[in-house]
Amino acid sequence: MAEQAGNGEDDAVAEIEKKIIEAFEVFDHECNQTVDVREIGSIVRSLGCFPTEAELHELLAMVEEEEPTGYIHLEKFLPVMTKVLLDRSYRPIPEDVLLHAFEALDENKCGYITKEKLVKYLTEEGEPFTQEEMEDMLSTALDPETNTVRYRDYISVMTVDET
């Protein structure tokens, strides 16, 4: 069944909605158009957005029920998320910007950050990592011989996977 040729804009919106529904359904375990509120972050991010934790909380406030049940309904999520994608909110972080961020933490500009320093920054500053998140990042980023993170190498390894 071929789709009718319609307004290009409508098509774009329809396509975005289909994408959102797909991503949502991946986390919809009970097949009843709801997901656990704790999975919303994963859904939003896997749709190509890079929100901060604060921005995520704002979004949640818009999609939660008046009496938060711990579950988010697709009905509420779909329009909000569609707008996010149409507005291109929470833009991706280009590689060079990421590099600058690491360099900002590398005071002496030696090309690496010690484990202690990185842990301190990421678990105490910004929107702090949990211990689990920190350990997971280190498992890939840390060079065990020098106990440092050579961030240029790390970034290139990580961005290979990205599509």
Partner 1 sequence: MGSGSSVNVNYKYSLQKSENAFKAAVLIQRWYRRHVARLEMRRRCTWRIFQSIEYACEQDQIKLHNFFSYLVDHFTPSSSKERDFISRMFISGESFKEAELEKYCDYESMEVPDSYTGPRLSFPLLPDQATALLEAFKQKQQLHPRYVLNLLHETRKHLKQLPNISHVSTCYSEEVTVCGDLHGQLDDLFLIFYKNGLPSPSKSYVFNGDFVDRGKQSLEILIILFTFLLIYPNEVHLNRGNHEDHMVNLRYGFTKEVMQKYKVHGKKILKMIQNVFCWLPLATLIDQKVLIIHGGISDTTDLDVLEKIQRNKFISVLRGKKRKDSNRNVEIQEINRESKTEADPAEKEAAPSLFPQPRPAPAPSMSNRQEFSRWVRQTVQEQIEWCRRLVDISESEEEELTYSSVVSLTDLDGPCRTREEDWKQVLDILWSDPMPQEGCRANTVRGGGCYFGPDVTQKILEKHNLQFLIRSHECKQEGYEFCHSRKVLTIFSASNYYEIGSNRGAYVKLGPDLVPHFVQYQANKTAHTLTMTQRISRVEESAFRALREKLFAHTSALISAFKAYDKDNTGRITLSNWATAVESVLRLGLPWRMLRPQLVRSTVDGMLEYKSWLDDLAMEQRSQEHIQSSLLEVIYRNRSNLETIFRIIDRDHSGLISFEEFHQTWKLFSSHMNIELTDDGINDLVRSIDFNKDGNIDFNEFLEAFRLVKQSQ
Residues in CB range of 138: below 8 A, 6 or more apart: 115, 118, 119, 149
Instruction: Tell me how many residues contact partner 1 (CB under 8 A).
Output: 53
Task: State yes or no: residue 11 binds partner 1 (CB under 8 A).
Answer: yes
Task: State yes or no: residue 31 binds partner 1 (CB under 8 A).
Answer: yes
Task: State yes or no: residue 147 binds partner 1 (CB under 8 A).
Answer: no
The neighbour count for residue 90, using CB atoms within 10 Å, is: 19
Task: State yes or no: residue 17 binds partner 1 (CB under 8 A).
Answer: no
Residue 11: CB minimum distance to partner 1, A:
7
Nearer to partner 1, 53 or 75 (CB): 53
Separation between Cα atoms, residue 24 and residue 35, nearest integer Å: 7
Task: State yes or no: residue 69 binds partner 1 (CB under 8 A).
Answer: no
Residue whose pair of structure tokens reads 């569609």 in the numeric block: 82
| Cα 121 off chain centre by | 20
Restricting to residues 72-101, which ones interact with partner 1 according to CB under 8 A?
A: 92-93, 97-98, 100-101
Using left for φ > 0, alpha for ψ between -120 and 50, and beta otherwise, residue 109 falls in left
Give the angle subtended at the CA of 55 by the CAs of 134 and 38, to the nearest 5°. 60
Of 9, 66, 127, 145, the one binding partner 1 (CB under 8 A) is 127
Separation between Cα atoms, residue 150 and residue 137, nearest integer Å: 13
Of 69, 140, 146, 156, the one binding partner 1 (CB under 8 A) is 140
Which residues contact partner 1 by CB under 8 A? 1-3, 11, 14-15, 18-19, 22-23, 25-27, 29-32, 41-46, 49-53, 92-93, 97-98, 100-102, 104-105, 121-122, 125-129, 133, 136-137, 139-140, 158, 161-163
